[in-house]
Amino acid sequence: MPGTGSINIPFPLELFWLIGEAEFTRYTSLFYLPPNLDVTIRWSPKDEDKVFLVFAMTFGSLRDYNTGETVYTDEIGLWCRGPGIKFHWNPLLESVSDFIYPILTPTTRNNPLEIRFVNRSSITAYMDVSIWYFELTRYRFESMINFVKGFTNLFKYLGMARNIDEIRRLLGLR
Amino acid sequence: MSEEKISEALKKGKMVIIVGASDSRINIEYPRDKVEVIVRS
């Protein structure tokens, strides 16, 4: 079964959703891939003031257009890159298409998610792809990044303390 | 109707993307000579 399992939402995103700073949504499309295909698309918010914080991608089964049968092949796949994501190849094999694909990237109009579809096989195939993300304004996104930095810095300083008295002092408990 | 459009585009060697009508907040840039986008109403 493709993409079996739950999708883990990173903690800062959950928090921002809980306090109403971010809205969860999902994008799903069907892609039909003819042979000899090499096409790059760029996916981003239409609004320049928005950030789409992508936290997962899920792929449906790749199917033969003529027979409807599920296909696993490394001759069909997609290259992917985005802010903070290195350009990498995703062949549509079981370890990719039957797995929830963890990803974390803040896409904006100027820094889109780039997906290059390749079909080197002789068959026409189709598949569905979902992109799971939170929608935030740029201002709220920057607030979230500051929150995460503050959170990690707090524990970094606590980790540097030599004893409980120093931790008390750092937390202002004296 | 969509099936005919899909079949026609594939015969021309074009990739087809079926998007939902509610996806208006998304911007997709693509080469128009290689991709056909069909909005599912």
pLDDT in tens, A12-40: 777 777 777 888 888 999 999 999 999 99
State the ipTM, two decimals.
0.93
Rounded to the nearest 5°, which phi and psi values hold at A98? -105, 30
pTM of the predicted model, to two decimals?
Answer: 0.83
Residues of chain B with C-beta less than 8 angstroms from the C-beta of A113: none
**pLDDT of residue A10 exceeding 80:** no
CB A41 to CB B17 under 8 A?
yes
Query: What is chain B's Cα-based Rg?
Result: 11
pLDDT score at A103: 83
Nearest to residue A32, comparing CAs of B21, B40, B23?
B40
Which of these ranges, A4-8, A83-87, A119-123, has the smallest mean pLDDT? A4-8
- Alpha carbons A116 and A109: distance in angstroms, whole number: 18
Which of these ranges, A92-101, A116-125, A164-173, B12-21, has the smallest mean pLDDT? A92-101
Tell me the mean pLDDT per 10 residues along chain B, length 41.
88 93 86 93 69
- Token look-up 């079964």 returns A1
* Shortest Cα–Cα distance, B29 to chain A (Å): 5
Residues of chain A with C-beta less than 8 angstroms from the C-beta of B30: 39-42
